[in-house]
Structure 1
Amino acid sequence: MGGEGENTAVDLTAGDPADVENDNDRIITEEFKIWKKNTPFLYDIVMSHSLEWPSLTVQWLPDVSSLPDKDYETHKLILGTHTEQNEQNYLMIATVNLPKEDTEIDARKYDDERDEVGGFGGVDNKIEISVKLNHEGEVNRARYMPQNPFVIATKGPHADVCVFDVSRHPSVPANNTVRPEHRCTGHTKEGFGLAWNPHKEGGLLSGSEDMVVCYWDLKEAGKTVAATRQWKGHTAIVSDVAWHCSKPTLFGSVGDDKQLLIWDLDEAKDAPVFAVPNAHEREINCLAFAPHSEFLLATGSNDRTVALWDMRNLSQKLHSLEGHRGDVFQVQWCPLDETVLASCSSDRRVHVWDMARIGEEQDEEDREDGPPELLFIHGGHTARVEDFSWNPNMERTIASVSMDNVLQVWQVADNVFNEGNEDEEEPADDDLE
C-alpha cells in the first residue's frame, strides 16, 4: 500500500485538555513533516493552495481548456466559503493548471516555496479563484448540473436550495446582493444532501436536517420553485442523497437514523422500494452508486467504515472497508477506474480503495499498513477533510478541501497506483520515512 509514511497512533483521551491539544498539534505537525518528506515517492503531482476561508465543498467541472504552445491545460473546480461572523460568503470557481499528459514533470522533491510536488514549465499561479458569486451564508454543498455545468445548485444555512447560472453573473460581484436564478422551497431546515439527475435535465434531489427528501423539476421553472415530491421515510437527519447511475428514476438516501433507503421516482407511494435499517452501527453520512455497475453502491458512516452493498441482496453488506480513524464524511467512485473508490474523514485522511484487491494475501508487514484493498492514504491535510472530488479528465487525480482553509490537488504516483505490475519500479523501503 502507498501512503503517508509512518502511521502515528496516540491515546489522547486522558489528561489536561490543554496538554492533550498541544500533544495533538505536535503529532499533526510531525505527521505532516513525514508526509512532506515522502511526497516525491508517493505522488506525481501535489499542489497545496491556501484559501481565504475554509471550503466545505469541492467538485471538478467537466470542461478542460488548453493552448497548443503551453505544456499545461486548465481545469476548473467549484468551491464555497465558510466565513466567520458577518463576512460575505461566496460560491466560487477556481482554475487549476495541470500538466498535459505528455509533459515532463519533476517530482523529485517537495517545493516549500510553491507548496507543491511535480513542478512543470515554471507556471506560476497554478490555482486561482476566477469567479465569485455572493451566497447567503456558508456553502454547505455545491454541485453542477451534468447537462449544463454553468448551472450550480447550493445548500447553505437556510432551508431553501439555491440554483445559480454562473454564465449570467459577472466574475466579481458588483454589490452584496444574492441573486440565484431559482430558489427551491420545501425544506424547513438546512442540510448537505444534494444531487442532480444525470439522466434528466433539471431533476434535483436534496436531503436535510428536517428528515425530508425533496425533488424539484427545474427545466421550465420560475424564480421560486416548490418541491414536486417529498419523501419522509427517515426518522432523523437526511445526510446525503444520490441518483443511480444507469436507472433514471432510482435514487438512494442515508441519514442519522442509520438507514439506507432506495426510492423510485415512478412509484406513486411515498415509500422506499428497499429499506436497510441499521445499515451501519452509527450515523450514515454519505452514499455513492458505482458508475460501472448497476448493482453496487457504497455508504460511509460515523462508525469509521465504508460499506459496500449489492442491490440484489441488501439484507447484508458485501464488505466493510476499515482503516479510517474518524467519521467518514464522503465516498466517491473513481470515474476512470471501475474498481476504485475513495473516502475522506475527520481523521484528516483521504483513503483510496481498490475492490479488485479484496481478499489478496498479505504478509505480516503489509497487514500492519491496513487491509489489501487500502491502496493509498493521502496524509497531506492537517485538519478534517470536508469533501473531495475525482478529476474526470485526469487519471489518479483528486481535489480535497479541509477545515484549515487548504485546497489540495494531488495525483497518486503511477507506480504506487499500479503497484504489483512487474514493469513498475517501486520506491525502496529505505527511501520512505
Structure 2
Amino acid sequence: MSKRSATDTQDGQPFQKMAAGGSKRDMPAVDEMGEFEDAWEDDIESDEEVVVDGNDENDEDGMDVDEVLPAIEESDEAPQAPQVFIPGTHVLGKDEILEADDSVYIMRHSMNVNWPCLSFDVLRDNLGNERQRFPATAYIVSGTQADDASKNEVLVYKMSSLHRTQKDSNDSDSDNEDDDDAEDLDEDAILEYRSIPHVGGVNRIRAQPLSSAVPSGSQPYHVATWADTGKVHIWDVRPLVESLDSPGYVIDKSRTNTPIFTIPSHGRAEGFAMDWASSGASSLRLLTGDIHSKIYLTTSTPSGFNALSQPFLSHTSSVEDIQWSPSEPTVFASCSADQSIQIWDVRTRGRKSVAGIVTAHESDVNVISWNRLTTYLLVSGGDEGAIKTWDLRNVKKSGSAACDPAPVASFNWHKAPITSIEWHPTEDSIFAASGADNQVTMWDLAVEQDDDEAGMGETFPGEAQVPPQLLFVHQGQKDIKEVHWHSQIPGTVISTALDGFNIFKTISV
C-alpha cells in the first residue's frame, strides 16, 4: 500500500478575497545561523537584583530608566488592516509573498503528487451525504501526465484526516472536552492511493455519476479516460476503492489493469471533451469529442459497450467540452474552439445541432457547465478569460437568421484562459471557476450591488474593481487545470494544478 503524508501549504499558498482578505508582508531579517535577529537584545547580565529609585537625585548610583529605554507611548490608533491583494492589479514586490488568511477557511489542505494530474473527478463514497463533521475523508480519481508515456497511471486517491483549519466561533472560549472539532486543528492530511497503468498521458478523466451507494461485489464503478494517444478507455475502479478501505484486500491486476472497453471511433485524433449521462438513464451513455470537431456516442448493452460509428458534426474546430442536459436525457451541449456553443438532440437525423450560439466568446470556448437545478442556465469560460452565463430559452434554432442572444451575466475578472467551470451541486446561483492566471474563483449570481453602500467608499484599496458577485478568490497553485465541488461535503472544493491538489472549504459558501 502506498501512503504518504500530504503537508499543508503555508505562506505563499492559497489566498482568498473576503472582508478580511489576504496580506502581503516583508520577510523578517535572519542572521547567518538561521535565527531571527532581536533589535532590542542586550548583553547586560547581573547576578543579583538591583533596585533603583530613579527619583533620588542625590543617589549617584541611581539610573533613570527613561534614559536607557524611552517610555512606550500608547496609541489610540487601530492596527493597520492587512493589505488586500487584487490579482491583475497589484504586483508583489521583492521579498514579498502572499499569506493566506486562514480565518476565512473552514478547512484548507494542500497535497503534492509524483506526476501532475491535469484532470480528476470526485468519486462517490458510502460515508453519507451532507457531511459536516471533521476530520473529513474524500475520494477522487485522476490520471497523470508523466515525462514518459510508459509511466502514466490512473490513480484512485483517498484523502483522509482532513482536519478543520479554524474552530467554530462558539469554540473560541470553550473548554468542552466532547468537542472533537476543537482538537487537532491544522493537522497534516493523509493521501493514500491505488493505481493502474495507462498508456499515454490522461487529457481528461470522468467517473460514472452515481445517485446512491458505490457498487460492490461484481458490479463495476466505471471511469473513462481520454488518452493523448487518441483512445478513450473505460475502466472499473471499484476494486481500487475497496482496497483503500479493506486491509488485506487483494486486487486482481489481470482484470483491473486492462480496460473494460476501448472506444476506437476517433482513430488517432486526440481529444478532451467527455461526459457521462446521469445515472437515471436506462443504459450508460458516454459522449466524447476530439480536436477534429467530431463527437461520438458510446452506449452500454447487456453484453458490454457499443461505440456508434456516425459522428455528430456541426462544429468547425476542436470540441473542447461536452455536457449532458440534466433534465432531458437525449439532449447535450458542446463548446468548441470555433467560438460557438451548440445544443444537440441524439434523436435528430443527420447528427446536426438543433440550436446554438454562433459567437459565444471572442476566442475558443474552453469549458461549459449545465445548471442541474435551474436547467435553462449554462455557464461558459473562454480562452480570453471571460465567464458568461446563458439562458438557453433564448438560444436560437440552427439555421435561424436571428442574432445570438446576450448573456444574462458576463465577468472579465480572470486575466488568462478559463480552464474549468462548474455549478454548485445544491445552490443554483453559485459556481466555481479556475483560470491559467492561478486563481480559483467562486461566484454568486444572486448577489446585487447595494445602492446604499455604493457611495460609501472603499473598505480596502481597489474594492471598486471587485464585482459584487465574486465571493472568494483562492490562490497558491501553479497552472490550475480543473476544479470540482464535492457533492457529499457541502461547500468543499477540490482543485488540481501542476504542483498537486488543494481541497478547501470557505466560510463564504
TM range (shorter): 0.7 to 0.9
Contact kept, 8 Å, 2:234 with 2:261, in 1: the verdict is yes
Partner of 2:200: 137
The match for 1:251 among 321, 332, 338 is 332
Partner of 1:377: 473
Partner of 1:84: 147
Partner of 1:325: 415
Counterpart code for 2:264: T
How far apart in 2 are the matches of 1:266 and 1:27? Answer: 58
Alignment partner of 1:214 is 2:296: yes
Partner of 1:336: 426
How far apart in 1 are the matches of 2:209 and 2:339? Answer: 29
Q: SS where residue 91 of structure 1 aligns?
A: strand
Counterpart code for 1:202: L
Q: SS where residue 230 of structure 2 aligns?
A: coil
Deviations along 1:251-301, one digit per CA (max 9) or x if unpaired, are 000010001000011222311110211110010001111011121001110
Counterpart code for 2:208: M
> CA separation of 1:51/1:316 partners in 2, compared to 1, >3 Å: closer, same or farther?
same
Contact kept, 8 Å, 1:65 with 1:73, in 2: the verdict is no
How far apart in 1 are the matches of 2:167 and 2:86? Answer: 32
Partner of 2:43: none
> CA separation of 1:247/1:384 partners in 2, compared to 1, >3 Å: closer, same or farther?
same
Partner of 2:264: 185
Counterpart code for 1:76: Y
Deviations along 1:342-384, one digit per CA (max 9) or x if unpaired, are 1101000011000101444445537435111111101121x11
How far apart in 2 are the matches of 1:319 and 1:385? Answer: 24
Partner of 1:391: 486
How far apart in 1 are the matches of 2:498 and 2:163? Answer: 30
Report the CA distance between 1:319 and its aligned residue. 1.3
The match for 1:272 among 347, 353, 363 is 353
Q: SS where residue 343 of structure 2 aligns?
A: strand
Deviations along 1:41-82, one digit per CA (max 9) or x if unpaired, are 22111100111111111221121438xxx9534221112211
Q: SS where residue 298 of structure 1 aligns?
A: strand
Q: SS where residue 292 of structure 1 aligns?
A: coil
> CA separation of 1:228/1:125 partners in 2, compared to 1, >3 Å: closer, same or farther?
farther
Counterpart code for 1:197: A
**Segment drifting more, 341-350 vs 317-326:** 317-326
How far apart in 1 are the matches of 2:182 and 2:502? Answer: 15
Deviations along 1:202-246, one digit per CA (max 9) or x if unpaired, are 1001111121111110243547x4325411111110000001111
How far apart in 2 are the matches of 1:173 and 1:85? Answer: 26
How far apart in 1 are the matches of 2:168 and 2:271? Answer: 41
How far apart in 2 are the matches of 1:302 and 1:360? Answer: 31
> CA separation of 1:312/1:174 partners in 2, compared to 1, >3 Å: closer, same or farther?
closer
Q: SS where residue 218 of structure 1 aligns?
A: strand
How far apart in 2 are the matches of 1:28 and 1:265? Answer: 56
Contact kept, 8 Å, 1:99 with 1:120, in 2: the verdict is no
TM-score, length basis structure 2:
0.68
Partner of 2:111: 49
Counterpart code for 1:207: G
Partner of 1:16: none
Higher RCO (C-alpha 8 Å, min separation 6): 1
Contact kept, 8 Å, 1:65 with 1:75, in 2: the verdict is no
**Segment drifting more, 370-379 vs 84-93:** 84-93
Contact kept, 8 Å, 1:151 with 1:166, in 2: the verdict is yes
Partner of 1:427: none
Report the CA distance between 1:136 and its aligned residue. 1.3
Provide the alpha-carbon RMSD of the alignment. 3.2
Contact kept, 8 Å, 2:150 with 2:198, in 1: the verdict is no
Q: SS where residue 312 of structure 1 aligns?
A: helix
Deviations along 1:115-152, one digit per CA (max 9) or x if unpaired, are xxx99547976332322011111111111111467210
Counterpart code for 1:390: W
> CA separation of 1:81/1:45 partners in 2, compared to 1, >3 Å: closer, same or farther?
same
> CA separation of 1:289/1:98 partners in 2, compared to 1, >3 Å: closer, same or farther?
farther
Partner of 2:284: 202
How far apart in 2 are the matches of 1:71 and 1:306? Answer: 34
The match for 2:312 among 222, 226, 231 is 231
> CA separation of 1:86/1:227 partners in 2, compared to 1, >3 Å: closer, same or farther?
same
> CA separation of 1:75/1:8 partners in 2, compared to 1, >3 Å: closer, same or farther?
closer
Q: SS where residue 41 of structure 1 aligns?
A: helix
Partner of 1:161: 232
How far apart in 2 are the matches of 1:212 and 1:401? Answer: 27
Deviations along 1:17-38, one digit per CA (max 9) or x if unpaired, are xxxxxxx9x77984xx32xx33
Contact kept, 8 Å, 1:75 with 1:98, in 2: the verdict is no
User: Percent identity at matched positions?
Assistant: 23
How far apart in 2 are the matches of 1:28 and 1:335? Answer: 41
Partner of 2:127: 65
How far apart in 2 are the matches of 1:281 and 1:305? Answer: 9
Q: SS where residue 286 of structure 1 aligns?
A: strand
Q: SS where residue 324 of structure 1 aligns?
A: coil
TM-score, length basis structure 1:
0.80
> CA separation of 1:360/1:97 partners in 2, compared to 1, >3 Å: closer, same or farther?
farther
How far apart in 1 are the matches of 2:157 and 2:232? Answer: 22
Report the CA distance between 1:329 and its aligned residue. 1.0
Deviations along 1:171-210, one digit per CA (max 9) or x if unpaired, are 67969x9510010121131111110000324100111112
Contact kept, 8 Å, 1:138 with 1:157, in 2: the verdict is yes
> CA separation of 1:6/1:125 partners in 2, compared to 1, >3 Å: closer, same or farther?
closer
- Answer with 1 or 2: which has the greater Rg: 2
> CA separation of 1:233/1:86 partners in 2, compared to 1, >3 Å: closer, same or farther?
closer
Contact kept, 8 Å, 1:184 with 1:227, in 2: the verdict is no
How far apart in 2 are the matches of 1:142 and 1:327? Answer: 20
Counterpart code for 1:142: I
1:283-322 maps to which residues of 2 (within 5 A)?
A: 283-314=364-395, 315-322=405-412
- Aligned length in residues: 382
Partner of 2:138: 75
